[in-house]
Amino acid sequence: LVARMRAFGTTIFAEMSALAAETGSINLGQGFPDTDGPAAMLDRAVQAITAGANQYPPGPGILELRRAISEHRSAHYDLSYDPAGEILVTVGATEAIASAVLALCEPGDEVIAFEPYYDSYAASIALAQARLVAVTMRPVEGRFTFDPDELRAAVTPRTRVILVNSPHNPTGTVFTRAELEAIAELCQERGLIAVTDEVYEHLTFDGVEHIPLATLPGMRERTVMISSAGKTFSVTGWKTGWICAPPTLVTAVQTVKQFLTFTSSAPWQLAVAYGLRHELEWVSALRAGLQDKRDRLMEGLAAAGFSVLRPSGTYFVQTDIRPLGFTDGLELTRRLPELAGVVAIPTQVFYDHADRGRHFVRFAFCKKDEVIDEAVTRLKHLS
């Protein structure tokens, strides 16, 4: 293994899901739902296979899906992207992020990301031989946010890209317009490209709406907007994502993507096109259901003695474990199966400055109510 990848080992999601399987614990670690996506959309995938959509689709993705993505961007965000040249279908958001970083960064370039950050960012940046510069999000009145002055200070002449994830995994923060404006201003002042990870775009709560960075003045032309079907339609195993960006940026990303995977699986593309056109009501119901699950898990974790932070989006709740007498989330999550029969994710692994996240543990609530209830009952034995 090349030196720059040695530090990465096995992802925390693989480690913790294996631990859950070995110990028979309830898995509130890796974020995936335990119920299926919309039935008609699943049927559409089956139909696509039986109807013969089984050969290589075009490199940029099947036109029907690119059109559906374009219509969705336009209807939801009033953003216009041409299906011919401004949209590229990828193997999940993960490939979109990796291809974007590989396409845009020279060795030694710097990429700013907000920590705690989704784990694939650091690995993609390392693959590109670029350097990740982490700007720390900290809880302020129960909500993780960043300091605009720290963000500004993180930009150097080598900064090329800022990676912006909102709704943010693992904190559940949905960036406000003011936060996005601070980012947008910096991008324009310093000539940065924004790569936005918006995979939780529809999963927001309490009336909070996701605002794409590309909708801010001057940002569409410098933003690679990324999303995926996994979270929106509860099909994380379909690994169907996409980027929307101006033609020069799409061409750059596609140049890399075509040699990573050439193209992305056909049947899912047709099914996701159907989903984007016909299943957004299903998504609204999903979002309302998730909000109730969030509340259910938050209440249970608080009763079990955790200090709980309220997320405005995603699948995840952050907890501070210190009220229970623990200080190290990695140590606790490795022992949690034995202590309580539950698996969670130690937030510190998503930081460059691990000390700043040592006492946080992430729990997923994208699970059946009875699973959440049983997990919470078990966690009450901790105190």
Q: Based on the shown chain and the rule CB under 6 A, indicate whether residue 241 belongs to the binding site for ligand PMP.
A: yes
Q: Based on the shown chain and the rule CB under 6 A, indicate whether residue 25 belongs to the binding site for ligand GLN.
A: no
Residue 261: CA atoms inside 13 Å, Cβ hemisphere, count? 23
Task: In whole angstroms, give the CA distance from residue 109 to residue 383.
Answer: 47
300 binds, among ligand GLN, ligand PMP, none (CB under 5 to 8 A by kind): none
Size of the residue set binding ligand GLN (CB under 6 A): 5
The answer to whether residues 221 and 184 touch, using CB atoms and an 8 Å cutoff, is no
**Residues 145, 196, 204, 228: which binds ligand PMP (CB under 6 A)?**
228
Q: Shortest distance, CB of residue 324 to ligand GLN, whole angstroms?
A: 22
11 binds, among ligand PMP, ligand GLN, none (CB under 5 to 8 A by kind): ligand GLN
Helices (H), 227-368: 229-232, 247-260, 266-278, 280-303, 329-340
Q: Shortest distance, CB of residue 367 to ligand GLN, whole angstroms?
A: 12
3-state secondary structure of 363: strand
Amino acid identity of residue 35, one-letter, is T
176 binds, among ligand PMP, ligand GLN, none (CB under 5 to 8 A by kind): none
Q: Which is nearer to ligand GLN, 10 or 55 (CB)?
A: 10
Beta bridge partners of 159: 110
Task: In whole angstroms, give the CA distance from residue 77 to residue 12.
Answer: 34
241 binds, among ligand PMP, ligand GLN, none (CB under 5 to 8 A by kind): ligand PMP
The answer to whether residues 340 and 381 touch, using CB atoms and an 8 Å cutoff, is yes
Q: Based on the shown chain and the rule CB under 6 A, indicate whether residue 118 belongs to the binding site for ligand PMP.
A: yes
Q: Based on the shown chain and the rule CB under 6 A, indicate whether residue 81 belongs to the binding site for ligand PMP.
A: no
Stretch that binds ligand PMP, among 43-51, 90-98, 149-157, 272-280 (CB under 6 A): 90-98
Q: Shortest distance, CB of residue 251 to ligand GLN, whole angstroms?
A: 28
Q: Which is nearer to ligand GLN, 159 or 265 (CB)?
A: 265
Strands (E), 54-130: 87-90, 110-115
Q: Based on the shown chain and the rule CB under 6 A, indicate whether residue 350 belongs to the binding site for ligand PMP.
A: no
Residue 10 phi/psi, 5° resolution? Answer: -95, 140
| Subset of residues 135 to 174 that bind ligand PMP, contact rule: CB under 6 A | 165, 169
Q: Based on the shown chain and the rule CB under 6 A, indicate whether residue 199 belongs to the binding site for ligand PMP.
A: yes
| Subset of residues 145 to 204 that bind ligand GLN, contact rule: CB under 6 A | 169
The answer to whether residues 172 and 347 touch, using CB atoms and an 8 Å cutoff, is no
Task: In whole angstroms, give the CA distance from residue 89 to residue 265.
Answer: 10
Residue 221 phi/psi, 5° resolution? Answer: -75, -15
CA–chain centroid gap for 61, Å, is 21
Q: Based on the shown chain and the rule CB under 6 A, indicate whether residue 31 belongs to the binding site for ligand GLN.
A: yes
13 binds, among ligand GLN, ligand PMP, none (CB under 5 to 8 A by kind): ligand GLN
8 binds, among ligand GLN, ligand PMP, none (CB under 5 to 8 A by kind): none
User: Which token pair is 144?
Assistant: 């993780």
30 binds, among ligand PMP, ligand GLN, none (CB under 5 to 8 A by kind): ligand GLN
Amino acid identity of residue 253, one-letter, is V
Q: Based on the shown chain and the rule CB under 6 A, indicate whether residue 30 belongs to the binding site for ligand GLN.
A: yes
Count of residues in the chain? 383
Q: Based on the shown chain and the rule CB under 6 A, indicate whether residue 329 belongs to the binding site for ligand PMP.
A: no
Task: In whole angstroms, give the CA distance from residue 124 to residue 97.
Answer: 7
Contacts of residue 297, defined as CB under 8 A and 6 or more positions apart, other chains included, come to 28, 317, 363, 365, 372, 375, 376
Residues near ligand GLN (CB under 6 A): 11, 13, 30-31, 169
Residues near ligand PMP (CB under 6 A): 31, 92-94, 118, 165, 169, 197, 199, 228, 230, 236, 239, 241
